[in-house]
Amino acid sequence: MKIESKLAQIGSVSEPVTGAVSFPIYQATAFRHPKLGQSTGFDYSRTKNPTRSVLEEAIAELESGDRGFALSSGMAALQTVFALFSQGDHLIVSVDLYGGTYRLLEKVMSRFGVQATYVDTNDLSELESVYRLGSTKAVLIETPTNPLMMVTDIAAVCQWAKEKELLTIVDNTLLSPFLQRPLELGADIVVHSATKYLGGHNDVLAGLIVTKGTELSEKIFFLYNSIGAVLGPQDSWLLMRGMKTLALRMERHEYNATCIANWLLEHPLITDVYYPALASHPGYEIQKKQSRGNTGIFSFKVSDARLVEPLLRHLELIAFAESLGGVESLLTYPAVQTHADIPVEIRERVGVDDRLLRFSVGIEHVDDLIADLSRALDMAQSELAGGTV
């Protein structure tokens, strides 16, 4: 079955008693045992809840994995995966990383003796140079990265990691399984902030993990149940409801983002556009090879940092807000919002400076989005020229 059909049908044949097409919310934490030594398969909702189970089976199938896990946020999913590691272990991580993941590694995991080194994961010589025999245990990739949209060849890294018996973990938040399935390219674990495209409506916070292989699946299940940062039944239902329209949404996000990125390329106040859908992007070929299409997120730089404040102030349709992947368009200023926890030296080394803006393009009509940007850029420029900013 094609992925569009799997998405639309999530949970639709799972309820045998009434035939409800929308799988019910089982708002229960405890389940009665038929008799001593027997279980319905459900005992206590931290371990397993019927609504959450339908979601977990769906994401496992969508990502071509063996087992899925739904957690209370993307960070909870990452924390649960990081609990695989012990004191003295070392991770190799994509340099242009989600700020919260960097914070979790540097401010929390480091206190437990787990170390991380940040490199361009698309450069195998960089991976090789930071690899520590005996202590390196895994590679964590984001591709494309956020906000700079650096693309990593997932299959190449997985092959390198396998030779060294390292796990490959991919944060697939920016593309979703509709566009890219890392487990099919050799990865061991996929992580999602389902708060973003999977949920898609800026209304549910959730995280997902998908694993390959029985042993690894059992280890993650043990940690997930032990730590307990699981997703509640209402949010599990809301997430499945969002996921049913993922294919349609992603197609529109990509279409809108491509139109706007091409429009910005020609705009005199824009110096750079970072989007792997553009043939000029260094990751264009790899992106085309390993995914079905492009995310609706890209970044761009304005010619003068003083344009940022009036630009954000004059936007009417596009919201200045700190998330991505929803139906509503949001513009983020990474240097002061999402990436503020990353030290200035690292931020500047990779190019997250005060002229950079990240655009999560929604599913509104593209003409309205371009008109909003165009007007706000013109007004920002006239304020700058008039000396009012």
Ligand X SMILES: *Cc1c(COP(=O)(O)O)cnc(C)c1O
The answer to whether 53 and 25 are in contact (CB under 8 A) is no
CB atoms within 10 A of CB 53: 18
Q: 46, 219, 306, 375: which one is catalytic?
A: 46
Rounded to whole angstroms, the Cα distance separating 83 from 76 reads 11
Could you tell me how many residues of this chain bind ligand X (CB under 6 A)? 15
Q: 6, 52, 181, 196: which one is catalytic?
A: 196
Only one of the segments 58-66, 70-78, 117-125, 236-244 lies at the binding site for ligand X (rule: CB under 6 A); that segment is: 70-78
User: Across the beta sheet with 189-193, what order do the strands follow?
Assistant: 67-71, 207-211, 189-193, 167-171, 136-142, 90-94, 115-119
CA angle at residue 40 from 35 to 45, to 5 degrees?
115
Residue 150 CB, nearest approach to ligand X (Å): 13
Alpha-carbon distance values, 231 to 25, 48, 71, 238 (Å): 12, 10, 4, 11
Q: 89, 96, 153, 171: which one is catalytic?
A: 171
Q: Which helix (H) or strand (E) holds 319?
A: strand 319-320
Rounded to whole angstroms, the Cα distance separating 82 from 103 reads 13
Instruction: Using CB under 6 A, pick the residue from 54, 105, 205, 308 that binds ligand X.
Output: 205
Given the complex with ligand X, which of 65 and 74 has the nearer CB atom?
A: 74
User: Across the beta sheet with 297-302, what order do the strands follow?
Assistant: 270-274, 297-302, 356-360, 330-332, 319-320
Would you call 367 a catalytic residue per the annotation? no
Binding to ligand X (CB under 6 A) within 113-172 occurs at 142, 146, 171
Only one of the segments 3-11, 83-91, 95-103, 242-250 lies at the binding site for ligand X (rule: CB under 6 A); that segment is: 95-103
Rounded to whole angstroms, the Cα distance separating 109 from 89 reads 10
Q: 26, 98, 197, 224: which one is catalytic?
A: 98
Given the complex with ligand X, which of 180 and 193 has the nearer CB atom?
A: 193
Q: Which two tokens stand for residue 327?
A: 């139906």
Would you call 171 a catalytic residue per the annotation? yes
Instruction: Using CB under 6 A, pick the residue from 23, 98, 160, 275 that binds ligand X.
Output: 98
Residue 100 CB, nearest approach to ligand X (Å): 5
Given the complex with ligand X, which of 197 and 300 has the nearer CB atom?
A: 197
Only one of the segments 31-39, 68-76, 153-161, 297-305 lies at the binding site for ligand X (rule: CB under 6 A); that segment is: 68-76
Does 100 engage in binding with ligand X (CB under 6 A)? yes
Is 262 in a helix, a strand, or coil?
A: helix
Instruction: Using CB under 6 A, pick the residue from 68, 74, 144, 276 that binds ligand X.
Output: 74
Instruction: Using CB under 6 A, pick the residue from 51, 176, 193, 256 that binds ligand X.
Output: 193
Only one of the segments 48-56, 93-101, 117-125, 358-366 lies at the binding site for ligand X (rule: CB under 6 A); that segment is: 93-101
Only one of the segments 79-87, 94-102, 106-114, 124-132 lies at the binding site for ligand X (rule: CB under 6 A); that segment is: 94-102
Q: Which two tokens stand for residue 326?
A: 């929803």
Sign for the CA dihedral angle at 229, 231, 234, 235 comes to: positive
Q: What is the largest distance, in Å, between two alpha-carbon atoms of the chain?
A: 80
Instruction: Using CB under 6 A, pick the residue from 45, 80, 94, 101 that binds ligand X.
Output: 101
Q: Catalog residues that contact ligand X under the rule CB under 6 A.
A: 73-75, 98, 100-101, 142, 146, 171, 173, 193, 195-196, 205, 207
Active site residues: 46, 98, 171, 196
